[in-house]
Amino acid sequence: MRLLVTGGCGFIGTNFIYAMLGRHDDLTVVNCDKLTYAGNRANLAPLEARGDGRYHFVRADIADPAAMAAILAQYRIDAVVNFAAESHVDRSIADPEPFIATNVRGAQNLVHCAMQAGVPRYVHVSTDEVYGSLGPDDPAFTETTPLDPSSPYSASKAAADLLVGAYWKTYGYPAVITRCSNNYGPWQFPEKLIPLMISLARQDKPLPLYGDGTNVRDWIHVADHCRGVELALFKGRPGAVYNFGGGAELPNITVVRTILAALGKPESLITFVKDRPGHDRRYAMDHSLAARELGFAPEYDFARGIEQTLAWYADNQPWVAAIHSGEYRRFMDSWYKDRS
């Protein structure tokens, strides 16, 4: 299989490419990434250095029709997994435009080019955030829960899901959509809750918790999400949507306390700050369809997953330090300045 992975220099894409090349000897991966602030080509440098022809990197924008058509033809691609996205809710609040450009127009362009090139397998990676927010006693989201996004990020992802679904309904293009809950693990950019809190705690800096810290997320280790996407790629029913979750619903304050305890840092570092506008209260995923049709089951519980993640960040301080400059600092300074 010659697999095109888009957004492979980001958090989940990096984990997915290593996992797939590790598990499948007959696989070639072409990684197409625009290298935004969140994309780091060096994550996959060991694969480039190997030079065995099983990994290729191309810098391009999924919204560019000529570039996508050229990649699909040149590498005779027979499967696509689209991870490429603007992915941070807070950035989408500060400036929604790039989210429309990549998550909506880019997602539509990529599925269109893949259909025109006759690529027979296609996975569009989406998120539980398209369903909106749950109350404390509501049942978990299923694939038929109506889409009700709250942020420009989740609205852009919902728009893409509807477009990809339309390619199946209108043209019979056999795309599969996956929706996953909050990921954590190696290579996650330190603007998201878990790597941000690890990074700040290690520096003895205040940990900014939005609102009262009781918003709930369903945490899944990135390795389990990657396994789910792999199953959807090989076994997904054309036109289907699959939910993936980690079965680890936790309030943010519990996550942060767990990190502080593991690092031996005081809870006095926790600082409650002004809430994120439109902040979803709770996400929870019912992944019984994926369990039934794909054999999906998360393997990590949160205790093991967070321990592995803390160890990775401890061992990869230069990776984190390289990010703590330039564009990262500009966004973090301006976003958190208004929240204290």
Asked if 9 is part of the footprint of ligand NAD (rule: CB under 6 A), the reply reads yes
Query: How many CB atoms are located within 10 Å of the residue 215 CB?
Result: 20
- The CB-of-276 to ligand TYD minimum distance in angstroms stands at 6
Interacting partner of 16 out of ligand NAD, ligand TYD, none (Cβ under 5 to 8 A depending on kind): none
Single-letter residue type at 270:
I
Can you tell me which residue has the tokens 């230069």?
318
- The CB-of-127 to ligand NAD minimum distance in angstroms stands at 4
Asked if 130 is part of the footprint of ligand TYD (rule: CB under 6 A), the reply reads no
- The CB-of-287 to ligand NAD minimum distance in angstroms stands at 13
Q: Which helix (H) or strand (E) is 33 found in, with range?
A: strand 28-33
CA distance 32 to 82: 10
Asked if 36 is part of the footprint of ligand NAD (rule: CB under 6 A), the reply reads yes
Is 327 noted as a catalytic residue in this protein? no
Angle between helices 65-74 and 107-116 (to 10 degrees): 40
Tell me the per-residue interface mask from 39 to 58 with ligand NAD, x by CB under 6 A, - otherwise. x-------------------
Is 64 noted as a catalytic residue in this protein? no
Residue 236 per-residue DSSP state? P
Asked if 215 is part of the footprint of ligand TYD (rule: CB under 6 A), the reply reads yes
108, 151, 183, 258: which one binds ligand NAD (CB under 6 A): 183
Is 129 noted as a catalytic residue in this protein? yes
Asked if 225 is part of the footprint of ligand TYD (rule: CB under 6 A), the reply reads no
Using CB atoms, what's the residue nearest to ligand NAD?
A: 10
Q: Any alpha helices (H) in the chain, and if so which ranges?
A: 11-23, 45-50, 65-74, 89-94, 97-99, 107-116, 152-171, 193-202, 222-235, 252-263, 288-294, 302-315, 317-323, 326-337
Query: Which residue among the candidates 55, 131, 153, 173 is catalytic per the annotation?
Result: 153
- Angle formed at CA 21 by CA 300 and CA 2, multiple of 5 degrees: 125
Q: Which residues bind to ligand TYD, rule: CB under 6 A?
A: 89, 129, 182, 192-193, 196, 208-210, 215, 217, 252, 276
